[in-house]
Amino acid sequence: MSQEFVIEAFPRGDQGRGASRRLRREERKIPAIVYGGNKEATPISIWHNELKKALENEAFFSHVLTIELDGKKESVILKDLQRHPYKPLLTHADFLRVDKDHEIHVNVPLHFLNEDSAPAIKLQGGVANHQITEVEVICLPQNLPEFIEVDMAEVDMDKVVHLSDLKLPKGVRVAALLQGEDHDLPVVAIHKPRGAKVDDAEEGEEGEEGESKE
């Protein structure tokens, strides 16, 4: 993991809806909580705009983050994020403590490479149909990937890429596959558009009619 995210946090004593509203309105902070790791949950507050800016980076969601509170640092991952129903505001964040000896469950984005240049798309007129854009993985914190690549150049026409086809980094497992073959879901496939298939079928029929007349 090449990037590091450090979040400045502050102790939070008052709790409840009224206190949370004052926190957001008067201090431009949002309430949050750090829990797990065989420790008591710690209520904190963090700068709203700082978190909002960090969320613009896709890697923030699949990274081990650092919470800095009263000069002490803890490694965490973002487990839940609440937003205002109609305003562009964050309202609450949940962070889970992690340590290097215990596996974590994290949703990691999929990056689809070479989609425009894939032979089945560029040369054969196929269209990519994405079923999944992220996948839940299980791994130790130090093995957590920022993303998982899917090379579309290797996907033939009408071939379906399943979860079991993903090339995973060492020490990383797909959570769904641990539940059995029935959970080996499709990730992406390349098919010809429906209209193109009809046209191909009609051309084939016309060719057969011409041959029969001869």
Q: Indicate if the pLDDT at residue 210 is higher than 60.
A: no
The confidence band for 25, taking pLDDT boundaries of 50, 70 and 90, is: confident
- The closest alpha carbon to 91, from 23, 11, 41, 7, belongs to 23
Range among 25-34, 39-48, 205-214 with highest mean pLDDT value: 39-48
- The mean per-residue pLDDT over the stretch 143-168 comes to 96
What HEC string does 143-190 produce? HCCCCEEEEHHHCCCCCEEEHHHCCCCCCCEEHHHHHCHHHCCEEEEE
Residue 1: the pLDDT is 45
Question: For residue 166, what are its two tokens?
Answer: 């993903």
The answer to whether 42 and 33 have CB atoms below 8 angstroms apart is yes
Range among 15-29, 157-171, 189-203 with highest mean pLDDT value: 157-171
The answer to whether 109 and 134 have CB atoms below 8 angstroms apart is yes
The confidence band for 95, taking pLDDT boundaries of 50, 70 and 90, is: very high
Tracing tokens 């689809």 back to the chain, one arrives at 112
Q: How far apart are the C-alpha atoms of 86 and 91, rounded to whole Å? A: 12
- The mean per-residue pLDDT over the stretch 131-137 comes to 97
Q: Indicate if the pLDDT at residue 206 is higher than 70.
A: no
pTM over 0.75: yes
Residue 197: the pLDDT is 53
In angstroms, the Cα distances linking 154 to 81, 187, 189, 212 are 36, 14, 11, 39
- DSSP secondary structure, 56-78, as one string: TSGGGGGS-EEEEETTEEEEEEE
The confidence band for 27, taking pLDDT boundaries of 50, 70 and 90, is: confident
Residue-wise pLDDT tens digits, 44-72: 999 999 999 999 999 999 999 999 999 99
Percentage above 70 pLDDT, the chain: 86
- The mean per-residue pLDDT over the stretch 109-113 comes to 97
Residue-wise pLDDT tens digits, 155-166: 999 999 999 999
